[in-house]
Amino acid sequence: MRTFTELDKKILAKLAPEFEGTTGPAPGHDYKFILLPVSHKLSESPEDFAARINKLTDDELGYIIDLILTGEEDSRSLAEGDYDALVEVMEKRLPKRVDELKNR
């Protein structure tokens, strides 16, 4: 089980305020990934997932990309349509970084 950093917890709290207080003193400590619980447990649609991702700063979004590239974040197991929604947000905000994802 991956131990979440403070940044991981901050990002999860931003993406999933519904989790606040439900996972103990450190939101997200029960999860191995940031995106999967948001995609599978909370997001009602790819549009909802994209809206949640859009709450992140560019630096936070870049951090998510780094986690995906290193295998510390699973983006391929997202709910149907959520991966495409994620890539669409990334293409709009960090187009050069998305090329890294596509070329890996």
pLDDT, one tens digit per residue, over 15-58 is: 999 877 554 444 444 678 999 999 999 999 999 999 999 999 99
pLDDT of residue 24: 40
pLDDT of residue 1: 65
70-73's contacts with Cβ under 8 Å and 24+ in sequence apart are 72/2, 73/33, 73/34, 73/35
Summarised one tens digit per residue, pLDDT across range 73-86 is: 999 899 999 999 99
Q: How far is it, in rounded angstroms, from Cα 97 to Cα 80?
A: 23
Q: How far is it, in rounded angstroms, from Cα 49 to Cα 51?
A: 5
pLDDT of residue 21: 58
What are the Cα distances from residue 3, in Å, to 28, 32, 63, 103?
Answer: 9, 7, 16, 28
Domain residue ranges in the chain: 6-102
pLDDT of residue 37: 92
Other Cβ atoms less than 10 A from the Cβ of 26: the count is: 14
102's enclosing H/E stretch is helix 95-102
pLDDT of residue 28: 45
Tokens 């450190």 label which residue?
26
- Place 71 in a pLDDT band, splitting at 50, 70 and 90: very high
pLDDT of residue 23: 45
pTM of the model: 0.86
pLDDT of residue 98: 86
